């Protein structure tokens, strides 16, 4: 009886189903999966003696960064931030989110079956991230909706990237005032939790969520190591953020149409 009451209290409302649908739609709208598959197919057709080079890896990683940037940028919560706050949030969270997205793409594309791709991305990310990518489906049974919701939850974390390399990071008022992120994070976290309860019982949801967080924390650790130790990856990420900062400044008045958070502000796309 108590379990039934708990399940009922955690049922998704119509407005939450709409929000969930909008998040999934936004993620899929900005997905670069088709482009990445085309690149892999093109490279796979090259003579066997020709290896992929770092330029090929950089092209794919940049596509994933762009996809995640546009996905987060389409959130109405993100668009309410100032341009300085937007870049601050991207600066801390975009890199590990992109690595998590790479792991999902790795598992769902032919990258996983192309030895030359595996060798190439091992030189960029390191063997541990590739190990996580190759084994994530064995470690955790999840559906892609949970993964997409997890991405938007993590986008509004106070700090995912643990490398302090940016000037004046500790004087960032946005980082100190983390309460500004709580409303957004709580909304998306509650949505994720209710969705998991909808599909699984309470204890199974706790187990799955704990496993998902463990995987993500490992990815933060390994992406940090890659950033610190791999010159190619370091330069790639820094170049991406330089362009990103300029694009945020240039596009202040040209925001992406946001998807709605509430029933009375639903945004849909055909």
* Residue 32 maps to a domain: yes
* Residue 6 maps to a domain: no
Q: How far apart are CA 240 and CA 58, in angstroms?
A: 10
Model pTM greater than 0.85?
Answer: no
Alpha helix segments (H runs only) across the chain: 2-9, 14-29, 33-44, 54-73, 76-79, 83-108, 115-125, 127-139, 144-155, 173-176, 179-199, 202-229, 231-250
Full domain range(s) for residue 81: 13-43+51-162+177-252
pLDDT-derived band of residue 29, with 50, 70 and 90 as boundaries? Answer: very high
Q: What is the CATH number of the domain that holds 26?
A: 1.10.565.10
Domains contained in the chain, number: 1
Q: How far apart are CA 268 and CA 270, in angstroms?
A: 7
Q: Which of 40-54, 87-101, 190-204 has the lowest mean pLDDT?
A: 40-54
Q: Which of 40-44, 107-111, 236-240 has the lowest mean pLDDT?
A: 107-111
Average pLDDT, the chain: 77
Of residues 141 and 73, more confidently modeled: 73
* Residue 258 maps to a domain: no
* Residue 36 maps to a domain: yes
pLDDT-derived band of residue 51, with 50, 70 and 90 as boundaries? Answer: low
Nearest 5°: phi and psi at 156?
-105, 25
* Residue 212 maps to a domain: yes
């Amino acid at each position: 009886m108590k379990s039934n009451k708990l399940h009922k209290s955690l049922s998704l409302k119509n407005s939450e189903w709409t929000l969930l649908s909008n998040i999934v739609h936004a993620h899929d709208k900005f997905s670069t999966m088709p482009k990445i598959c085309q690149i892999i197919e093109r490279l796979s057709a090259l003579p066997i003696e020709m290896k992929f080079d770092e330029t090929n890896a950089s092209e794919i990683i940049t596509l994933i960064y762009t996809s995640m940037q546009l996905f987060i940028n389409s959130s109405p919560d993100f668009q309410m931030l100032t341009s300085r706050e937007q870049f601050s949030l991207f600066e801390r969270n975009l890199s590990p989110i992109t690595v998590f997205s790479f792991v999902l793409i790795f598992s769902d594309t032919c990258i996983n079956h192309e030895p030359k791709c595996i060798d190439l991305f091992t030189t960029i990310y390191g063997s541990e991230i590739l190990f996580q990518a190759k084994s994530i489906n064995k470690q955790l049974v999840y559906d892609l909706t949970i993964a997409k919701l997890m991405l938007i939850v993590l986008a509004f974390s106070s700090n995912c990237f643990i490398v302090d390399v940016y000037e004046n990071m500790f004087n960032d008022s946005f980082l100190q005032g983390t309460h500004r992120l709580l409303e957004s994070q709580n909304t998306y976290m509650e949505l994720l939790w209710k969705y998991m309860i909808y599909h699984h019982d309470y204890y199974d949801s706790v187990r799955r969520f704990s496993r998902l967080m463990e995987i993500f924390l490992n990815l933060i650790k390994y992406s940090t190591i890659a950033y610190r130790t791999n010159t190619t990856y370091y330069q790639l990420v820094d170049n991406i953020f330089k362009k990103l900062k300029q694009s945020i400044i240039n596009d202040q008045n040209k925001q992406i149409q946001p998807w709605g958070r509430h029933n009375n502000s639903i945004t849909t796309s055909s």
